[in-house]
Every structure is written in structure tokens, then in C-alpha cells.
Amino acid sequence: MMKKIFVPLALVTAAMFAYAPYAINNVAYQSTMLLVQKIFYFHFATWMAMTAAIAVCGIASVIYLFKGSRAADWYGVASAELIVVFGLFGLFSGSLWGRKAWGVWWQWDARVTMATMIVLVFLGYIMVRKYGGPGSEKLAAAMGIFGAATSPFVYKSVDWWRTIHPQTSVVKELGTTFPEAARLVWFCVAAFLLLTVLLLAARVRLEAMRSKLDDMYLAAED
Amino acid sequence: MNFFVAIQQQAPEGFVPVAPGTLVEQIPAAPLVMASYAFFLLLMLFYLWTIWRRIGKVEGEMQALERRKSGSK
């Protein structure tokens, strides 16, 4: 099924990403941060995409650990890689935004620090898979579950520990305070989620091929 | 050193309004916004390239294994 819809989905996603910079350029400035606030549209969307990937990794890790499903393992490792990729962009774009909005490249506030930790957990997942040897799949799956369990704390960190990072209410109230920006940010989130689906499909295909190659080597040895 | 001390001493007490027409952007925002979106584009292109390269490598290995298998028959 994914094979059939991959190309149309890729075209829709490409069109959305082609339109997004144009729409971001045309949307009005936010009242206090002006131009630099426009980083927000991709910055927020990338964290949403990362959250989706974390959910996939968490669920796939549970299924793999308790049912031993090979496909679940493919989804686990594929989504872990996406978490790191999106996380890197989220941290980088946040740093650029913070440079202007906060006057510093980096701030050890609760949200930024916890987001860094969660990226490191999934980077650890990938390293365990790559260098852990036999049995590393199960160890990595356990890391995937605990990494996913951390994500609600990352989300709520800005409400629980008040620092300079905007609270979750900013996005919740955007529909009434700045409807034009709200429409655009959800458009960007949709584009990022479609991109997540496409990248995940491509990455899962790679894992499936690797698994098939392992089977071929085992068959050749027999 | 004395120069910086002199500047500090000249600073007025408390908050005072800026003189009209002197308000300037301290850190330019445009390069930061452009760097953010450019980094995203480069990161995605790089990541897609790595997936494409890894798929090619596995396909190559599969074909080599198939050839070895058919050659040994």
C-alpha cells in the first residue's frame, strides 16, 4: 500500500514545503520578536514531527520487546533515527531563535536541557544498535520505551518549571491571539508529519532490506 | 580598562526612554532566520542522501550474494 501512495504523498509534501517559505515570508510579524519569530513555524513543526516519531518508536519498542516482531524492530530503529534528525534541527533552530530573542546561543532552561537529553537517549539507542553486538535490539527497545516515557515530561517542562522558554499555552491560544499564524503553523505541522511518514517508509524499507540480506547470508552458509 | 570603567560610570541610573530615531536592531534577525531554514534544507538533503546510499549498498551486497550463489551452482 505504501508503495502505491509513496509518490503522490511525496509530491504533496514537496508542494507543501515549496509553499511554506512563501507563506512564512508573507505572514505578519509577531508583535515583540518581529522577524526572528518566523523561525517558530518550522521549529514547532519539527518538534511535533519528533513527537510523532517518539510515539512510533515507543509503540514499536513495546511490540518488539514483548512479541518479538521483526517489523516492529524495523520501525523502532527507523523512528529513532528520525528523532535524532528532527531533534538536531529543533535544537539548532531554537539556538538561532534564542540568540535574538534571549540574547544567547544556548540557555540551560528546563525545556532546552530536557529536549537535549531526549535526543541523546535516542542517539544512544542508535549507538547501541550499531555497536552493541548480539542482543542489542532488545536493549535498544528498552531504551526506546524509556525515551518515549520521557517525552511527556519534556512537553510539560515549560509549564512545571517556569524559565524563559514560552509555555505550551502560547500554541493553544494562537488561534485567538494570532489566527493567521495558527493556520500557518498547523499547515507546517501537517507538512512535517507527511515528511515523517515518507522518511519513515524509506528508512523502514532499508531495515527490511538489511533483514532480508541477513537471511540471505544465513541461507548461503547452510 | 579605564575606558570601560568610564562608559559604565556614564550609564544613567534606572530605565530611561530611547531618544527618537536612534533605535537600531542590535542583532540582525534575517541571517538567523535564513540560517535556520537553510540548515533544515541541507539536513534533509543530507539525510535523504544517506538513506539512498545505504539502500544502494545493501542492494549491491544482495546482488553480489546472488551472483556468488548462482556462480557456485
State pLDDT tens for residues A74-105.
999 999 999 999 999 999 999 999 998 999 99
Residue A16 counted as domain residue: no
Query: pLDDT tens per residue, chain B (73 residues)?
Result: 455 555 555 666 777 766 777 666 578 888 898 999 999 999 999 999 999 999 999 999 999 999 988 887 6
Residue B1 is predicted with a pLDDT of: 47
| Residue A3 within a domain | no
Classify residue A38 by its DSSP letter.
Answer: G
Residue A176 has pLDDT above 50, yes or no: yes
The ipTM of this complex is 0.89
Q: Is residue A193 pLDDT above 70, yes or no? A: yes
Domain count, chain A: 1
Q: d(Cα A116, Cα A106) in Å, to the nearest integer?
A: 11
The phi, psi pair for A30, rounded to 5°, reads -75, 150
Tell me the residue range of the domain where A210 lies: 39-221
The band of A196, judged by pLDDT with boundaries at 50, 70 and 90, is very high
Indicate whether A1 belongs to any domain.
no
Cα A132 to Cα A184: distance, rounded to the nearest angstrom:
43
* A26 is a domain residue: no
User: What does the pLDDT read at residue B14?
Assistant: 75
Per-residue pLDDT tens digits for A121-130: 999 999 999 9
- Residues A134 and A216: their CA atoms lie apart, in Å, by 18
Q: Give pLDDT, residue A216.
A: 92
Inside any domain, residue A205: yes
Best residue in A209, A214, A221 for a mutation probing chain B (most B CBs within 10 Å): A209
Looking at every residue in chain A, the average pLDDT score rounds to 93
Q: A40, A166 in Cβ contact below 8 A?
A: no
Average pLDDT over residues A147-159: 93
- How far from chain centre, in Å, is Cα A179? 25
The alpha-carbon gap from A130 to the nearest alpha carbon of chain B, in Å, equals 14
Q: What is the pLDDT of residue B6?
A: 52
- Backbone phi, psi, residue A210, to 5°: -65, -40
The pLDDT assigned to A1 comes to: 73
Asked whether residue A64 is domain-assigned, the answer is: yes
Q: Pick from A42, A205, A212: which is nearest to B37 by CB?
A: A42
What's the pLDDT tens digit per position in A23-45? Answer: 998 888 888 888 888 999 999 99
Chain B residues with CB under 8 Å of A119 CB are: none
Residue A147 lies in a domain: yes
Q: Which residues of chain B approach chain A closer than 8 Å at the C-beta? A: 27, 29-30, 32-33, 35-37, 39-40, 43-44, 47-48, 51, 54-55, 58-59, 61-62, 65-66, 68-69
Residue A93, chain B, CB below 8 Å: the answer is yes
pLDDT, residue A215, reads 92
- The answer to whether residue A201 is domain-embedded is yes
Are the CB atoms for A47 and A114 separated by under 8 Å? no
Would you call A36 and B33 a contact, using CB atoms and an 8 Å cutoff?
A: yes
Residue of A nearest to B42 (CA): A89
Residue A173 predicted with pLDDT over 80: yes
Cβ distance B32 to A97 less than 8 Å, yes or no, reads: yes
Q: Which of B43, B58, B68 sits opposite A213 (nearest CB)?
A: B58
